[in-house]
Amino acid sequence: MASILGSSVNGITINITDAADLAKAVRIRGLTINGAGSGLQGVKVIASSKVVIENTVIDGFTDGIGVAAVGTAQVFIKSTVIRNNSGAGISVAAAGNQVALSDVAVVFNGNGLVTAASGTIVSFRNNIIYGNKKAGEPTSSLAQR
């Protein structure tokens, strides 16, 4: 385990724009990302094809995870806790962006899940969305296989 303190800034910004980088993939695993109540976004996805966030805690930001990539981004969040963020736990703000959740707890945020502009959040039905001022719902749910 490791930690990042992101007071008044983003914890992690993902912005892979180099055309030579064909994979455009990022894996975040085993981090505690703390905004100390004043951070902007715990993880901000601006440009990437694939992002995997596993075994991570995101706490104390305006938004826990913000996905606003131009084009298409696929974000898979597994075994992660997103809590105590004043805005959204997870926000998907651009068309073509997809977020999939498995074993994720989105608790005690201003809004649990927020989607706009045809972005999607898919739940594999083993997630906890609780105690948020506005819960929000996944755009769809799928059974695990």
Helix, strand, coil percentages, rounded to 5, for the chain: 0, 60, 40
Mean pLDDT (the chain, rounded): 92
Residue 20 contacts by C-beta under 8 Å, 6 or more apart in sequence? none
Task: Note the Cα 107 to chain centre separation in Å.
Answer: 13
pTM for the model: 0.93
The total of other beta-carbon atoms located within 10 Å of residue 19's CB is 6
- The predicted-structure confidence for 116-126, as pLDDT tens digits, reads as follows 878 899 998 79
pLDDT-based confidence at residue 8 (cuts at 50, 70, 90):
very high
51-70: b or e for each residue (b if 16 or more CB lie within 10 Å)? bebbebbbbbbbbbbbbbbe
Residue 144 pLDDT greater than 80, yes or no: no
- The predicted-structure confidence for 53-67, as pLDDT tens digits, reads as follows 999 999 999 999 999
pLDDT-based confidence at residue 42 (cuts at 50, 70, 90):
very high
Phi-psi bin for 89: left (phi > 0), alpha (psi -120 to 50), beta?
A: alpha
Distance separating alpha carbons of residues 117 and 115, to the nearest angstrom: 7
Residue 70's pLDDT is: 81
Closest alpha carbon to 67 in 34, 116, 11, 126: 116
Distance separating alpha carbons of residues 38 and 119, to the nearest angstrom: 26
